[in-house]
Structure 1
Amino acid sequence: MTAADDVRRAVSAVSDPELRRPIGDLDMVRDIAVDGTTARVGIVLTIVGCPAARRIEQDVRDAAASVPGITDVAVEVGVMTPAERRALTERLRAGRPARVMPFGPDSLTRVIAVTSGKGGVGKSTVTANLAVALARRGLAVGLIDADVHGFSIPGLLGLVDEAGRAPQPTRIDDLMLPPVGYDVKAISIGMFLREGDGGAVAWRGPMLHRTVQQFLTDVFFGDLDVLLIDMPPGTGDVAISVGQLLPHAEVIVVTTPQAAASDVAVRSGLVARQTGQRVLGVVENMAALTLRDGTALDLFGSGGGAEVAAALTTEAEAVPLLASVPLSPALRADGDAGTPVVAAHPEDPAARAITELAASVAAAGRRLAGRALPFTPH
């Protein structure tokens, strides 16, 4: 092994922050030469203006400098040719044709839609924190913000700048790469709005259906263990579209302890079940907060989550109350700051409840009944 071979091995192990794969496997490493203590490294990026360019270049520089005997590193950055990009996208699709949804019934990815009967129950906050908690358990997690009219996932995952603008996904030919926040790959309509839109989306059924469909087919999430879908409240167009596109998905219903919320939450679970989806369980948010003197502040009452779980339970299938997340100032403040509470304040009671929820979801696994398994008998 020569010094140049050592540098190539170190540089090839650098991970592309968007594709989450080593740049050596992506054919992004070019000529490497070592002259004394100086290494000259050539790399190519996928597109002109790649948003991860500075990070990749710095990571390559650091990797080369970590090789014993190398004190100076010169990095030359180029761009893939159209033919090289086509070869890359074909490799990423792993033989799947373009614009084909990879999350069908035979997929190894668990798809979990998080629903609620009405808005304001903290569904998106629970979804974002659940996604981060699952990722912190070592799972590969994707998150689709299907709440087109009330999108909030970019902000909750810290994927916005000081002006509140979310980054646009990087495009490699016809593939869209979702931005990553807290190791969660996320996509939202908020990433496509332009200056002057005012952050408002005024779309009806057909446009909503097409948006959800494109998120499922045109966004390259790679190999995921879990895909979470933050659903809009209620049982409208998007709920029907997701039921049609992903009838095998599991569903988590979020409610508050208040009867007015829990009564409506049951409907979202019933509609999901009508499309063939399975209700995985219920999450009660904004439950009683234990004060410093030990008393409980049940601002929204109590028992709503258990009532929803009981109402959705049938003779064929029990629906458990998966978690009861207490009212939490930290959960609210961290959400506003774009720092999920499970990462920023893991000891907070709400963070612990969501972390335990993630453990329950991960342990539940996915049912294999009626699903074709990828093996060939001999």
Structure 2
Amino acid sequence: MSTRREVILSWLREKRQTWRLCYLLGEAGSGKTWLAQQLQKDKHRRVITLSLVVSWQGKAAWIVTDDNAAEQGCRDSAWTRDEMAGQLLHALHRTDSRCPLIIIENAHLNHRRILDDLQRAISLIPDGQFLLIGRPDRKVERDFKKQGIELVSTGRLTEHELKASILEGQNIDQPDLLLTSRVLKRIALLCRGDRRKLALAGETIRLLQQAEQTSVFTAKQWRMIYRILGDNRPRKMQLAVVMSGTIIAITCGWLLLSSFTAPFPVPAWLVPVTPVVKQDMTKDIAHVVMRDSEALSVLYGVWGYEVPADSAWCDQAVRAGLACKSGNAVSASDIRR
């Protein structure tokens, strides 16, 4: 019986080209990387894998992470956003490839920029197929649908696949008795398909089983395993209950006292800030900005802008003698470089 991944792979490899643009989405460990690796092995067509990398300053570049062309491949090349479509066309012409496949990794990150660059590439390579790979994201999926991109989900790992990943390389006694459906669901929720975490779960279970000489764990032992996998919800819930109880007790005590005594002074933190106070605060801020304009310039430089985009701060900066530019405009120009 074929697995879901094998069915998707067969559909992606159809020679009739039943698809042109496709977004393959799935959680970590759901088989996206495996599918891309299998497609990269195709011999009958050129397969190039790209990834858009964006720096903290907003500058972006396309990196060729894989290419199945042996000598004339462009692996490890880096292209600017403006160059990408032309360089891709040039690389494909060198090998006279028909029906090429372009794979774009991590398409859920910076997906709007990817869509903009993709439109130019599609117009230059009319016979190509474009496979975008990324994580589930409603906003991204909605934008891709508007562009006519077909969505295909790898789905979640089945219980059988989960169990196989946990048991891989681990000699666990009576795993069927330990790894019940309830346990597998909890581990799947904590690991989110991460193969390393699943392997850690298997190793932890094996070590605990050897130490305790048992094939059945208590609830306390399972909680310890879940904590190792990153589950700290009980502590958070306990802290939240204590904090909420304290707040309720203080409020009730204050109301009780105010009902039995003369007009009770209202705590300052319960009184809203009046407009007069806000005006005074604004004057103080303006005074500080006027006085420390040089220090403010250094602070804005750390952010990558001369001043932030906020118009109110921009007004204060002008009074302080700073050159004021729109933060949004600077950001947009950086992105287009």
Provide the TM-score with structure 2 as the length reference: 0.32
Q: Which has the higher strand share?
A: 1
- What is the TM-score when the length of structure 1 is the normalising length? 0.29
Flag the structure with higher helix content: 2
